Amino acid sequence: MPAQTLYDKLWEAHVVREEPDGTALLYIDRHLVHEVTSPQAFEGLRLAGRRVWRPATALAVPDHNVPTTDRSRGIADPVSREQVETLERNVREFGITEFGMEDPRQGIVHVIGPEQGATLPGMTVVCGDSHTSTHGALGALAFGIGTSEVEHVLATQCLVQKKSRVMLVQVDGETPPWVTAKDIALAVIGAIGTAGGTGHAMEFAGAAIRALSVEGRMTLCNMSIEAGARAGMVGVDEKTIEYVRGRPFAPRGRLWEQAVAAWGDLHSDAGARFDRVVCLDAGDLEPQVTWGTSPEMVAPVSGRVPDPEAESDEVRARGMRRALEYMGLEPGTALADIAVDKVFIGSCTNSRIEDLRAAAAVVRGRRVAPNVRLAMVVPGSGLVKRQAEAEGLDRVFREAGFEWREPGCSMCLAMNADRLEPGERCASTSNRNFEGRQGQGGRTHLVSPAMAAAAAVAGHFVDVRELAEV
Amino acid sequence: MQPFTRHTGLVVPLDRPNVDTDAIIPKQYLKSVRRTGFGPNLFDDWRYLDPGEPGMDHGRRRENPDFVLNQPRYRGATILLARDNFGCGSSREHAVWALMDYGIRVVIAPSFADIFYNNSFKNGLLPVVLPAETVDRLFRAVGAREGYRLTVDLERQEVETPEGERLAFEIEPFRRHRLLQGLDDIALTLQHADEIRAYERRRMREAPWLFQDLLAAETGR
């Protein structure tokens, strides 16, 4: 058999049938469902009198609309409340498992999937959410879909798909201390652009990727969509197996042995052909900070805000001018001179226990700078929160002046009450710095958890390594 | 789904790359549990000067006169001319619903983000990819002449300009077929229900751990 990529293997294992033009019916093993992109899909099923093909494959959780403050009195916003209640009604009617708002396992859908062992190596995983690419870190084929496709998967357990091209992102070398998966992700996006991965599935490989923890790989795969790639993935190794072992929905006993044996093949074969290869040396990387309104507008923390006049492409130059105007920044400003108003540590990109540990390590024994109006930590799930509290991280954050919140998507997209006011500038561990993403007129700078923590205590962006060394 | 065969309409130019779905329909409107009614909030942050919230009376809001959709010459446009990577970011199909609800039937751009591109076909919105130089030329033509209209013919896979030029575009045959007929994807797939069941039987033998029941696991394994 010719050498195959990981993507080829995952694709092939899930093809139910294929049309002459290559369009395939692809079988879906796990369907994650949240409250924002599912109501119209369930309504469509009802209108057509259709049932759910395999309810046991779906796992639902409310995350986008949930409050991150005291939940004992439910959701104050009636529109948000209706959406969460609609999910509850739908899962009851169609017989789907849900972790409700009061469930200790509730959290961001892309945090709880791997945490529960509900997403596994070798699976096809979909969700009506673009950051579904996260689960590819386990050696799965995972990608975001729209609501019509959510309905399609509910009704048929399949999706109509065409095979993507495959891009290999090879990250060799040794990542310097305090340079994280987030920084690798931002550097990749800076190098290839937000449309660089369009039409591709993206596999991350190389020494620096092998060295990452599985949680770090999730951060990386999570951001592949910001490079335009619907799916990101990392081949299975010992770390993957150890990560999955013993999780609540992971196979046990003989099934576990069988699964592990099969997962051993979930990597690209030597000599497999990729449509495009991008190489990066992790040793050259610095912590990254975005300065504009697209994740590709990024620079190392030692850098400066670039000058649109130096950009030769006129469409790009216009985009840069517009971004700088929105961000309220002048060309040539050192990134380390930019002061922040708020700090957000959370989101499906960076709200796992290792993220919180890294941020706490920077914060410990320090105080949030007086010019920072709000610094908040939103754990990715109830279980991450509990673990962090068992390690005393909540105290570290609280004593420094951070708010310690309940799990959810929160200020990554500001569908709940957590948001930026117009003109406010935020150091955020989330994934999108689009105009208005964190609140209308809000200005987002994407960074790693350690860099966000450093910005909170310094009051402006700073190379976390300067803080960490003293 | 609404079929798409041929459409002639007024063109509105949106001259920015990387227009994301957060810009197309901001998050506060995603709380709706319906598929309709998003049109008044299409490009909400750019289109209005006051901050928008669900349930507002849009007739009373202050429009931003500088935003292209609000300029009198582009009122009633049904074809959106855009730049690279249109529809990037969030997977929200609400972006497609908002464009359709506003009256847009075709988006022409040098490239689209994958999920948006896919969502468009599910709703009868036609995304047309043309080379960047051609799109550039169309931008200039639209700016130069008020009332600039294009005809988009899916059958022939051509965009016709007022000058009589025919610009060919590519589209996957299977997508084209379904859009021309306005076919229901789910009904089509369910025609293959036996093949899906056969796949499941085979897969259950090869990879039985994938067939653990979440519900059963929940209620005590």
In this predicted model, what pLDDT tens digit does every residue of B144-200 receive, in sequence order? Answer: 999 999 999 999 999 999 999 999 999 999 999 999 999 989 999 999 999 999 999
Q: Which of residues 325-364 of A touch B (CB under 8 A)?
A: none
Q: Which two tokens stand for residue B4?
A: 């798409």
Q: Is A232 within 8 Å of chain B by CB?
A: no
pLDDT digits (tens, 9 = 90+) for A353-376: 999 999 999 999 999 999 999 999
Q: Buried (b) or exposed (e) across A179-199, using 16+ Cβ within 10 A? A: bbbbbbbbbbbbebbbbbbbb
* Confidence check: pLDDT of A323 > 90: yes
A187 vs A182: CA distance, rounded Å: 9
The pLDDT value given to residue B55: 86
**Cβ contact A415:A388 at 8 Å:** no
Q: Closest residue of A to B194, CA-based?
A: A16
Q: Please list every residue in chain B whose beta carbon sits closer than 8 Å to the beta carbon of residue A57.
A: 214
| Confidence (pLDDT) at B220 | 55
Per-residue model confidence as pLDDT tens digits over B114-160: 999 999 999 999 999 999 999 999 999 999 999 999 999 999 999 99
A90 membership: H or E segment, kind and range: helix A78-94
**A246 close contact with B: CB closer than 8 A:** no
Question: Is B31 in contact with A82 (Cβ distance < 8 A)?
Answer: yes
Q: Is A47 exposed, middle or buried (0-12, 13-18, 19+ CB in 10 A)?
A: exposed
Residue A227: strand, helix, or coil: helix
pLDDT at residue B86 is higher than 60: yes
For the residues A255-284, what does the mean pLDDT come to? 98
Contact B139, B108 (CB under 8 A): no
Closest CA to B84 of B43, B126, B130: B130
Q: How confident is the model at residue A174 (pLDDT cuts 50, 70, 90)?
A: very high
Maximum pairwise Cα distance, chain A: 65
- Among A17, A251, A432, select the one facing B212 at the smallest CB separation: A251
Residue that the structure tokens 């992790």 belong to: A282
Q: How far is residue A324's CA from residue A309's CA, in Å, rounded to a whole number? A: 12
Residue B221 scores a pLDDT above 50: no
Q: In A174-243, which ranges are E strands? A: 200-205, 231-233
Where is average pLDDT lowest: A70-79, B18-27, B82-91?
A70-79
Helices (H), ranges, A95-195: 109-116, 147-156, 181-192
Residue A280, strand partner residues: A171
Q: Does B186 touch chain A (CB under 8 A)?
A: yes
Residue-wise pLDDT tens digits, A385-432? 999 999 999 999 999 999 999 999 999 999 988 999 999 999 999 999
Do the chains contact at A319 and B88, CB–CB below 8 Å? no
- With cut-offs at 50, 70 and 90, classify the pLDDT of residue A213: very high
Residue B30: how many other CB atoms lie within 10 Å: 26
Work out the burial of residue A370: count CB atoms within 10 Å of its CB; fewer than 13 is exposed, 13-18 middle, 19 or more buried.
exposed
- Confirm if A24 and A163 have CB atoms less than 8 A apart: yes
Q: Which helix (H) or strand (E) holds A18?
A: strand A15-18
Residue A448 to residues A47, A454, B19, B35, B137, Cα–Cα distance (Å): 45, 10, 25, 36, 41
- Main-chain phi, psi angles of A156, to 5 degrees: -130, -10
End-to-end CA distance of chain B: 42
Contacts of A413 in chain B (CB under 8 A): 22, 27, 90
The residue in chain A having the minimum alpha-carbon distance to the alpha carbon of residue B19 is: A434
With beta carbons less than 8 A apart as the criterion, state whether A45 and A148 touch. no
B191 touches chain A (CB under 8 A): no
The residues that bridge with A460 in the sheet, in sequence order, are A339
Instruction: Determine the pLDDT at residue B57.
Output: 87
Nearest beta carbon to residue A440 from set B32, B51, B115: B51
Which chain A residues touch B27 with a CB distance below 8 Å? 413-415, 437
Residue A251 reports pLDDT greater than 60: yes
Cβ atoms of B88 and B21 within 8 Å: the answer is yes
Q: How far apart are CA A153 and CA A142, in angstroms?
A: 14
Count of alpha carbons within 13 angstroms of residue A197, beta-carbon side: 32
Beta-strand (E) ranges in chain B? Answer: 6-13, 79-81, 106-109, 126-129, 149-153, 158-160, 166-168
Give the mutation candidate from A9, A150, A152, A326 for the B interface (greatest B CB count, under 10 A): A152
Residue B213 banded pLDDT, cuts 50, 70, 90? confident
Confidence of residue A116 (pLDDT cuts 50, 70, 90): very high
C-alpha radius of gyration, chain B, whole number: 21
Task: State whether B115 and A146 contact (CB < 8 Å).
Answer: yes
Is pLDDT at B217 greater than 80 in this prediction?
Answer: no
Chain B touched by A104 (CB under 8 Å): no
- A-facing residues of B in 141-180 (CB < 8 A) are 172-175
pLDDT at site A461:
98
Average pLDDT, rounded, for chain A: 97
Tell me the three state secondary structure of residue A213: coil
Residue in B closest to A81 by C-alpha: B31
**A290 φψ region: left (φ > 0), alpha (ψ -120 to 50), beta (else):** beta
> Which residues numbered 160-199 in A keep a CB inside 8 Å of some CB on B?
160, 162, 194-195, 198-199
pLDDT at residue A53 in the model:
98
Is A356 in contact with A386 (CB distance < 8 Å)?
no
Q: Residue A59: which of B84, B91, B214 has the nearest Cβ? A: B214
B contacts of A40 (beta carbons < 8 Å): 33-35, 93
Mutation target vs B (from A52, A88, A225, A247; most B CBs, 10 A cutoff): A225
% of chain A beyond a pLDDT of 90: 97
- Minimal C-alpha gap between B34 and chain A (Å): 6
Q: How many CB atoms lie within 10 A of CB B28?
A: 23
Structure tokens at A166: 């495959």
CB B6 within 8 A of CB B153: yes
Could B33 and A39 be called an inter-chain contact, meaning their C-beta atoms sit closer than 8 Å? yes
pLDDT band at A72 (very low <50, low <70, confident <90, very high): confident
Smallest Cα distance from B29 to chain A, Å: 9
Judge residue A29's burial from the number of C-beta atoms within 10 Å of its C-beta, 0-12 exposed, 13-18 middle, 19 or more buried. Answer: buried
Contact, A160 vs A152, CB < 8 A?
yes
Mean pLDDT of A442-451: 98
pLDDT class of A154 with cuts at 50, 70, 90: very high
pLDDT in tens, B4-15: 999 999 999 999
The interaxial angle of helices A147-156 and A39-48, nearest 10 deg, is 50
- The shortest CB-CB distance from B189 to any of A86, A160, A199 is to A160
**What are A326-351's pLDDT values in tens digits?**
999 999 999 999 999 999 999 999 99
ipTM over 0.90: yes
